[in-house]
Structure 1
Amino acid sequence: MLRLIYTALLYVAAPLAFAVLLWRGMRDPLYRDRRGERFGFSRTKLDASIWVHAVSVGEVQAAAALIRDLQRRFPQSPLIVTTATPTGAQRVRALFPQGVHHAYLPYDLPGAVRRFLERIRPRIAVILETEVWPNLYRECGRRQIPIVLASARLSEKSVRRFRRIAGLFRDALNQGLVIGAQTRSDADRFIVVGAAPARTHVTGNIKFDLETPVEARARGEALRTGQFPGRFVWVAGSTHEGEEDVILEAHRGLLAARADSLLILVPRHPNRFERVRQWLSGQQVTFACRSRGEAVTPDTQILLADTLGELLMLYAAADVAFVGGSLVPIGGHNLLEPAALARPILTGPQNFNAPDIARLMLESGAALQVESAPGLAQALADLAANPGKRSQMGQVALAMLESNRGALARVMALVEETLHRRAQ
C-alpha cells in the first residue's frame, strides 16, 4: 500500500518537476538537453554495462578515480554515468571525453525506470552516497541487478524521516543492496532502517581518494606567475546566492589591510554567472571575467571565474581557499579539493553535507571556521600576514587527506565480490 501511495504521488509530482525543467530551460540552455531521458528514453543502448550514478558536480568529481578504476578493471564492459543535473553532465564530459557514456537518471516512475534499465542493461549499479529510489531499486532487484552504495551516509535526521515510511525504504534497502558506508555510525544507521547487516560494510569516503591532475597544479602556477605574481590571492569557490555579498564585504575589509589582495570568485552554478557579473558591475570594484579572456592587471581586485571545470586549477593558483555553500544553508562543498593542493581552508558554519570531513579539518587545524564578513576579513588578513601559518595549515590539510585514503580500494573490492557472486 505504501508503495502505491508513493508511486501515485510521484505521478502527480512528475509533471510539475518536468514543468520546472522546462521553465529552467527558458533561462538556461543546459536544461533543454535530452529531456526525454527524465522519463527513461535514453538515447544510449548498451549491454552488460557498468553503471555509476553521481548526482551532480561534486559527486562526479569524487567518483572520478572510481570510474577510471572501473575502466581499467573491466575494459570489456561499457561504462555509463548518470547524473541528475546538467552541470554534472558537463563534468562527466570534461573528465571523460571518450569511453564513458552519460545519461540523466529518470524520475522514479515504474515505466521510466523499466525503459531506462532496458536500454542500458547494467551488470551492476554503483551509486554514490545516499540516493535511494524505491521503484528503481525494486526493479533492479526484479532483474537481479546488484547495487553497491559507495561512500554511503545517513544522518540521524534521515533515520527519523526513514522510520516514518520504514516499510517503503526497508523494501528498497533489501533488494540485493550492498552498502559501503562512510563510517561505523553510518553503517549502524542503515541497519536501523532495515539494511541487511551482512551486506553493510564500513569502507570510508572515496572523496579522500581524490585525484589531483598534475596539469591542474601546473596551470594554476602558470596563471599566477603570468598574471598576478607576488599578490596575496584567495579563492571563494562554489559560492551561492547570499554568499557573494558577504565575500565582497570581507574582501573590501582585506583590501584595507593589504591593498594588493586578489579575490578569485567562483560561483557554483553556471546559470548564475551572468547575474554575478552584472552584480559586480554595480559594486564599484575593478574585476575581470575569465570567460572573456580578460587579463588580471595590478589594479584588478576580483577575477570572476565564470567558467566550468577550473576550480582545482584556481585553488592551485591561490594562497587560501574559502569553500562556499557554507555561509548559507546549502551544507558546504568539498573541503578536500583545496586540501589535496595543500591550501589552508576557510569555511562557514553550514557543513552538514559532510560533517565528519569538516570536523576533521577544523579539529586538526587545517581549516578555520568563519561566520561573518568581518570574521572572514580578519582570518584572511591574519593568513596574508603569516606565510608560515598558511604553509602549516596546508600541510596538515594534505596529511589529513593522505591518512584517510583507501576507501576506493575497499569499494572496488565490494564491486568485484558482488559481480563474482552474481556470476555464480
Structure 2
Amino acid sequence: MRLFYSLIWGLSLPFALLRLWWRGRQEPGYRRHIPERLGFYPRFTAVRLIWVHAVSAGETRAAEPLIRALLLQYPQHRILLTHMTATGRETGAQLFADVGARLQQSFLPYDINWMMARFLRHFRPEICILMETEVWPNLIAQCRLTEIPVALVNARLSEKSLRKALRMQALILPAAHAINAVAAQSTPDADRLMQLGIHQSVVTGNMKFDVTPPADMEARGQALREQFGARQVILCASTRDGEEELILEAFQEQFPLLQEKPLLIITPRHPQRFDQVAQLLEQRGVRYLRRSSLEQSMPQIPSDIQVLLGDSMGEMYMYYAACDVAFVGGSLVPLGGHNLIEACAMGKPVLTGSHTFNFSEITDQAIAAEAALRADGARSMLSLALALLGNPLKRQQMAQQAHAFFLQHQGATARTLQLLQPWLKQT
C-alpha cells in the first residue's frame, strides 16, 4: 500500500509544484525555497539537532512553549523547525526571531521516499517531533530505517479523522505503529489514537494553554480600541470560507435596528482570503476599513464604519485585547472549528458555532466552565453577542471564567518534555 501511495505522490508531483506556483500569486512565500520541498538543501554544518515539524501557523504557535523549553533544557542542541505552509514558516520566523542560530527553519519535502531519505541524511536529527496530526507514512518509515525515534505531541484525532484513517488503515496503521511516543491532548484523543493501534499514548494536555501572549499585545489592543471611541466591539476571529457571508447577512439584518452601533471586526484565518473578504464587503455595501490602511495617527475611525477587516498577520492577541466579545470561526460551517484558547488567555467571553469536532473536548469544557457559549448559526451567534454587550455583569463573569479556564489547563509542555526525555541525551 505504501508503494502505491509513493507512486501516486510521484505522479502528482508536477501538479503539486504547479499548485505552489499558483498559490504564490497571493502568498509569495510559496515560490521561495522550492528545492527544499524536493529534498535539496544548502550546505549544512553538522550539529546536534532536535527536529520539530509544525505544518502551518497554528501548529507553529502551539509548538512555541515546547521549543523554548527544549532550547533551555538541551543547550548543546539546536532546533530544526520544518513547515509545509508559507504562513507557518513566516509565523516561526516571527516567534523565534530572538533565538538566532539555535533555530533553523526549512520546508519539509513531499512525502516521497527518496526525498525524505535525502532530508534525513542531510540533517541527521536525533529525534523527530511531529505536532498534532502529522502522520506521514514515508517520513515515519525512513525514520525507522535510520533509527530516528518519532514522537507525536499535542496529538489530536477527531472522529471524522479517525474514520478517514481507518478507511486507509493498510497505509496509516503501519505508520502509527512505528511511532515511539505519543502525547495526546485529551482522553478522547488518546482513545481514538488507540483505535489506530497506538497504545503508548500519554494524556499530557494541550500545549496551546502554555503559550504566553506577547507582552505588548494588551497595550496595542488598548491603543487600537481607543480608535474605536465609545463603541462596543464584536470580534469574529479566524473565519473561514463561507462564514463571512453568513455573519454579514445576520449583521446587516440587525444593525439598522440597533440604537448603539457596535463595530464588527472580521479576521479571516488565511491571508490569501483578505482581498476576497474585502470584495465581499464591497459587494454587500458594507462600510469598512482595512487594518492595513488604518493610520496610527487617526484619533478615531469614522462612526459610519461598520466593519474593520483584520488583514494582518501576528496580531490576533491584539484583536482579542481590543474586543468585548469574541466569536471563534471555523465553526459555523462543518470545518471542525479552531481552538478558543487565545480568546480565553486574553480573558474574553467566547462564542462558538456548532461545528467544533476538531476541538470538541476543549470546547465542551469551556462551555461547562461558563467561559463560552455555543450558537447554532450566525444569527444565533450575533444575538448572543449583542445580549452580552447589553449585560456587562454577565460579560465580566464570562471573561473571568475564561481566564480561569486558561490558567487551569496549563502544564502540558512540562509533561510533554518529561515524556521526551528517554529519547534525548543532554550531553
TM range (shorter): over 0.9
> Which amino acid in the other structure matches residue 40 of structure 1?
G
Q: Confirm or deny that 1:105 pairs with 2:108.
A: yes
Aligned-pair CA distance for 1:91? 0.7
Q: Distance in 1 between matches of 2:417 and 2:148?
A: 17
Mapped contact 2:157–2:358 kept (Cα < 8 A): no
Counterpart contact for 2:332–2:378, Cα < 8 Å: no
Q: Contact 1:181/1:201 (CA < 8 Å) preserved in 2?
A: yes
Aligned to 2:283: 282
> In the alignment, which residue of structure 2 is the partner of 1:391?
396
Summarize the alignment of residues 36-47 of structure 1 with structure 2, pairs less than 5 Å apart: 36-43=35-42, 45=44, 46-47=46-47
Quick one: which amino acid aligns to residue 3 of structure 1? R
Q: Which runs of 4+ in 1 moved over 4 A?
A: none
| Cross-structure match for 1:123 | 126
| Deviation digits for residues 228-262 of structure 1 (CA, Å, limit 9, x no counterpart) | 23210111111122111122233331453243311
Counterpart Cα distance in 2 of 1:372 and 1:188: 30
How far 1:176 sits from its partner (Å)? 5.1
Q: Identity across aligned pairs (percent)?
A: 43
* Preserved contact between residue 369 and residue 401 of structure 2 (Cα < 8 Å): yes
Contact kept? 1:288, 1:303, Cα under 8 Å? yes
- Unaligned runs of 5+ residues in structure 1 are none
Specify the alignment match of 1:215 in structure 2: 216
Residue of 402, 406, 411 corresponding to 1:406? 411
Q: Any conservation in 2 of the 1:287–1:301 contact (CA below 8 Å)?
A: yes
1:169 aligns with 2:168: no
Contact 1:50-1:123 within 8 A present in 2 as well: yes
Tell me, what secondary structure is at the counterpart of 1:334?
coil
Q: Number of matched residues?
A: 418
Which residues of 2 match residues 40-119 of structure 1 at below 5 A? 40-43=39-42, 45=44, 46-97=46-97, 98-99=99-100, 100-119=103-122
Normalising by structure 2, we get a TM-score of 0.92
Written as runs of structure 1 = structure 2, the 5 A alignment for 1:252-263 is: 252=252, 253-254=254-255, 256-263=257-264
Note the alpha carbon deviations across 1:151-175, whole angstroms, 9 max, x for none. 1122344444434443433332333
Shifted more, 344-353 versus 361-370: the winner is 361-370
Q: CA deviation at 1:104?
A: 1.3
Task: Point out the more displaced range, 101-110 or 154-163.
Answer: 154-163
User: 5 Å matches for 1:295-314?
Assistant: 295=298, 296-314=301-319
TM-score by length of 1: 0.93
- Shift in CA distance, 101/384, structure 1 to aligned 2, threshold 3 Å: same
- Residues in 1 aligned to 2:410 and 2:25: alpha-carbon distance in whole angstroms: 42
Bigger shift: residues 53-62 or 172-181: 172-181
CA distance in 2, matches of 1:123, 1:353: 31
Q: Is the 8 A contact 1:254 1:381 kept in 2?
A: no
Name the counterpart of 1:26. 25
**One-letter code of the match for 1:108?**
D
The 2-side partners of 1:69 and 1:311 are apart by 23
CA RMSD between the two structures: 2.0
Letter of the 2:389 counterpart: A
**How far did residue 101 of structure 1 move?**
1.7
Distance in 2 separating the partners of 1:342 and 1:272: 28
The answer to whether the Cα contact below 8 Å between 1:254 and 1:377 also exists between their aligned partners in 2 is no
Contact 1:233 1:262 in 2 (8 A): yes
Match of 1:133?
136
Cα displacement string for residues 9-47 of structure 1 (whole angstroms, at most 9, x for unaligned residues): 221233222222222223432321112221112347353
Amino acid in structure 2 at the alignment position of 1:245: E
Greater mean deviation of Cα atoms: 182-191 or 156-165: 156-165
Q: Partners in 2 of 1:123 and 1:72 — Cα distance?
A: 17
